[in-house]
Amino acid sequence: MLEEISALAEGYVALLVAGPLFLITILVIIGLLVGGTLNPLRVFIYFVTPLLSVAFLLYLGQITASLGIDVDVDEHDIASRGPIDGGSEDTSQTEDATPSAAAATDGGHAARERANRQRLEWYTRLSWLRQAIVTPLRTVARSPDTVLYVVVPVGVVYVLTRIYLAATQGELDIRAIDDYLIHAILFVAGTFSVGEYLHSNRERRIERSLPDFIDRLADQTEAGMTLTRAVKEMNPDSIPGFQRQIQQLQADLQLGARTSEALRRTATRAESVLVTRAIVLATNALHASGDIAPVLRVAADEAQLDRRLAQRRRQELFIYQVIIYISMFVFVGITGVLVAIFIPSLPTGASVGPPSVGGAPGVGGIGSIGGSGGGPGRDAYTLVLFHGAIIQSLMAGLVAGRMGAGRIPAGAKHATILLAIVYGIMLLL
């Protein structure tokens, strides 16, 4: 798989970074000198290049799909434990059929129990909101997607407000809208990158500590302890990166959960592929035999091997991420040369392209992008080049994250860095 991903990375750099750069440069030069290439250039930049990058991301996701496992808590096991009161009797008919009679004979116990169940149900539904407010960093570390619920509305409101203010002042044009959109994208992607960084650090800490946790369980089960007792007597502080998972696992066992169910809940809370694989192997062995120490040894070795393979993947694909960065620098450099040197050096009569968007030559200036100081056709080609650099930086960042970490969200930081560099160069030009 690593060899196949490496080959795909080389193909991406050649076909979707260097190839579009060559074609865009040729179309721009021909269009400025002869004319007639602006519309094909727009189609290629706005549609062909993004679609090809999305197709590459989807194909890369199919290849790496086997590296991920989706695990949920087994609801059948929870339901089999019965109601909260132990399942001693079924009170549903009494509560639903004759609530007033039940209240009269038992002193209102059924009504109070029904109200308590309703309160417990609402507490369970709103527990995620309470945890997000009380411990926001922990919530973001477990699920970085929660950041988007806050920053995306803020970004949308910012863009709409700035567009409204610019329109009321008569200063609205395509370049101003570009500025507002880039500001919002940088804010959303940058904030999400922080959450993704916290999530990745949490996942790495858990995966580094997982082999030690399983080895401890194997040592104690080999000494004659049951798996349940080994978990209950383990000191969480002895395994630094796994202490919270151990504490939650011990709490589940103390509240009466079966060992296999508690282990599955631990895998769900950990949200790690390596933890899931080890837990699945341990629970299957627990159902098959009472002597699970040898299986735990195998699970510990597998977790250690998986962690080393993930580290090897990051190391081998790091060079391709560097190549993507270098290719983007070359892309932006050639775009800058065309905008700052080649286009202004053309005589006015060479600008035979169609009028620029907005109809005013040289629109832009400090804090905006796309101003070239040339004729109308020059402005149109300049704007398309800048848009191409923006789109290419976003797509290249997402591809770099997918190749390096196997997840598209991991590319948010690369997209933010590349977009910030491209936008800074645009402002300088």
pLDDT at 224: 81
Q: Residue 403 class from Cβ within 10 Å (0-12 exposed, 13-18 middle, 19+ buried)?
A: buried
Full residue range of the structural domain in which residue 245 is found = 207-306
Q: Is 257 a domain residue?
A: yes
pTM: 0.72
- Residue 65 has a pLDDT of 65
Cα–Cα distance measured from residue 331 to residue 386, given in angstroms and rounded to the nearest whole number: 11
- Whether residue 215 is contained in a domain is answered as yes
Mean pLDDT of the chain: 77
Please give the structure tokens belonging to residue 300.
Answer: 């510990």
Residue 46: per-residue pLDDT: 92
Tally of domains within the chain: 1
State both tokens at 71. Answer: 């695990």
Does residue 256 sit within a domain?
yes
Q: Which two tokens stand for residue 103?
A: 């209240």
Closest CA to 144 of 113, 188, 101: 188
Q: Is residue 97 part of a domain?
A: no
Pairwise CA distance, residues 143 & 281, whole Å: 25
Alpha-carbon gap, residue 426 to 363, rounded angstroms: 14
Q: What is the pLDDT along the chain (429 residues), one digit of tens a residue?
A: 778 887 888 888 888 888 888 888 888 888 878 878 888 999 999 999 999 999 998 888 887 665 544 444 343 333 333 333 333 333 333 344 444 444 445 555 777 788 888 888 877 777 767 666 766 777 776 778 888 888 899 999 999 999 999 888 887 888 888 899 999 999 999 999 988 888 888 888 888 888 888 888 888 888 888 888 888 888 888 888 888 888 888 898 888 888 888 888 888 888 788 888 888 888 888 777 767 888 888 888 888 888 888 788 778 878 888 888 888 888 888 888 888 888 777 765 444 444 444 444 444 433 344 443 444 477 888 888 889 889 989 998 998 888 877 778 888 999 999 999 989 988 887
User: For residue 132, which phi and psi values (nearest 5 degrees)?
Assistant: -65, -35
pLDDT of residue 372: 39
Is the backbone of residue 201 left (phi > 0), alpha (psi -120 to 50) or beta?
alpha
φ/ψ region of 370 (left if φ > 0, alpha if ψ in -120 to 50, else beta) reads left
Specify if 168 maps to a domain. no
